[in-house]
Amino acid sequence: MKYESLGGNALAAMHYDAIALRTISQAYDRYVPWTNSAIRPAAIQVALNDILLNRRKSVVELGGGISTVFLSGFIAQRGGRLVSVDHESSWIAEVSSWLSREQRAVTSFVHAPLVDSCFENVAVRWYEAAPIEKALQTTDPVDLLIVDGPPAYQSPNCVARGPALQVIRRFLTASATVILDDINRSGEQQVARNWSVQLGRSHQDLTVEAGIALWRMNEAFNLSY
């Protein structure tokens, strides 16, 4: 799971994930197909901590998958709503099939195909904004945003996640938490620097601990690490 770039810190990252996996398993009791490209267990633990401690009720994730399973399971237990955005309708159908009836009841899937976009004068492929904006206009303001899509591991799309904040920021609450996955990569590091300027606050770098960058908009509980 995304340890290759961590060098001497890889063992510490595995330790964090082993502990997190035992904890988050309480939010879902069935097998899930974890792969090397999936979000790390420790990142999911950070998100679930935020939902619990800061009473998050409106969660949005860009890029569905393993995270959808655990987020929807936790939200189904505690109340709230999850909006899960992905660019592949077949993948949305697959992920939906992993969820229980209770999980599907609290989850809205949004199909947003990839279209031409731009970030810092670089042409990228990002989600079509209209379906996302339409979905968020009918939900409560977003208090937790998790960005793990679209795919951004190949040039020139290594900063493809950059447009997310420009589109979704107006839907965020003043106390929201923002999580950007894959902060071990140079593209996401560039995106994180840009977002810190836009948000007017520096991000918490949890590269080893969870593979994410994290922004908190106020003095909410912070038990990330």
Query: For 49-92, what is each residue's pLDDT tens digit?
Result: 999 999 999 999 999 999 999 999 999 999 999 999 999 999 99
Domain boundaries along the sequence of the chain: 4-216
Q: Residue 224: is its pLDDT beyond 60?
A: no
Half-sphere exposure at residue 224, Cβ-oriented, CA atoms within 13 angstroms: 21
* Structural element, H or E, at residue 184: none
Say if CB 163 and CB 119 are below 8 A apart: yes
Four-point Cα dihedral 147, 151, 154, 160, nearest 10: -50
Mean pLDDT of 174-186: 95
Tell whether the model's pLDDT for residue 7 goes beyond 80.
Answer: no
Residues 6+ positions from 89 with CB-CB distance below 8 Å = 111
pLDDT of residue 1: 53
pLDDT class of 156 with cuts at 50, 70, 90: confident
What mean pLDDT is reported for the chain? 91
Radius of gyration from C-alpha coordinates of the chain: 16
Predicted pLDDT at 221: 59
Dmax (CA) for the chain in angstroms is 46
* Number of neighbours of residue 24 by Cβ within 10 angstroms: 22
pLDDT of residue 81: 97
Residue 131 tokens, joined: 């379906």
Q: Report the pLDDT averaged over residues 101-115.
A: 97
Res 120 pLDDT > 90: yes
Q: What is the mean pLDDT of residues 10-33?
A: 82
Arithmetic mean of pLDDT, 132-161: 93
Question: Does the structure show a pLDDT above 60 at 223?
Answer: no
Q: Look at residue 31 in the predicted model and tell me its pLDDT.
A: 83
Its pTM surpasses 0.75 = yes
Q: Is the pLDDT of residue 107 over 60?
A: yes
Least confident of 29-38, 46-55, 179-188: 29-38
The domain made up of 4-216 has a fold known as Rossmann fold (3.40.50)
Q: What is the pLDDT of residue 126?
A: 97
pLDDT of 114 > 60? The answer is yes
Give the tokens for residue 98: 């992993």
Distances (CA, A) of 5 to 8, 17, 45, 47, 128: 9, 16, 21, 23, 31
- 163 prior amide bond cis, ω within 30: no
Of 218, 210, 221, 216, residue with least CA distance to 46: 210
pLDDT score for 158? 93
